[in-house]
């Protein structure tokens, strides 16, 4: 998947190897690479990206609206891996 590889190339490190520096969600990196609207896009990846520094899997976040038993709407959020962008 070209988009995934492209996003991977924009990462310097991740929250596993540089927890004090990583503050950008990987989804945001994908948004930059694809130019997609973050409100509209969910990324389905056939394989995880990997941190070029420590080789840990780098995952996208996930969120879905769901309806509660009371009829309200709530959002379930699973945050993606935080990364450090590569400085050009
Ligand atoms: Zn890492």
Torsion angle in degrees (nearest 10) through CA of 30, 33, 37, 23 = 50
Instruction: Give me ligand 1 centre to Cα 86, in Å.
Output: 12
Q: Cα of 23 to ligand 1 centre, how many Å?
A: 13
Average pLDDT of the chain is 86
Cβ atoms of residues 39 and 28 within 8 Å? no
Flag whether the pTM goes above 0.75: no
pLDDT greater than 70 at residue 13: yes
What radius of gyration, in Å, describes the C-alpha atoms of the chain?
14
Q: d(Cα 65, Cα 47) in Å, to the nearest integer?
A: 24
Give me the residue spans of the domains in the chain.
Answer: 2-85
Residue 46 Cα, ligand 1 centroid: separation in angstroms?
Answer: 20
Cα 69 to averaged position of ligand 1 atoms, centre (Å):
40
Write out pLDDT tens, residues 30-51: 888 888 765 655 556 667 899 9
């Amino acid at each position: 998947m070209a988009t995934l590889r492209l996003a991977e190339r924009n990462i310097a490190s991740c929250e596993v190897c540089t927890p004090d520096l990583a503050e950008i969600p990987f989804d945001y990196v994908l948004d930059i690479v694809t130019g997609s609207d973050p409100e509209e896009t969910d990324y389905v990846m056939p394989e995880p990206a990997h941190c070029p520094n420590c080789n840990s899997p780098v995952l996208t976040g996930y969120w879905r609206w769901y309806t509660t038993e009371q009829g309200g709407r709530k959002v379930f959020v699973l945050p993606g891996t935080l990364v450090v962008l590569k400085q050009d």
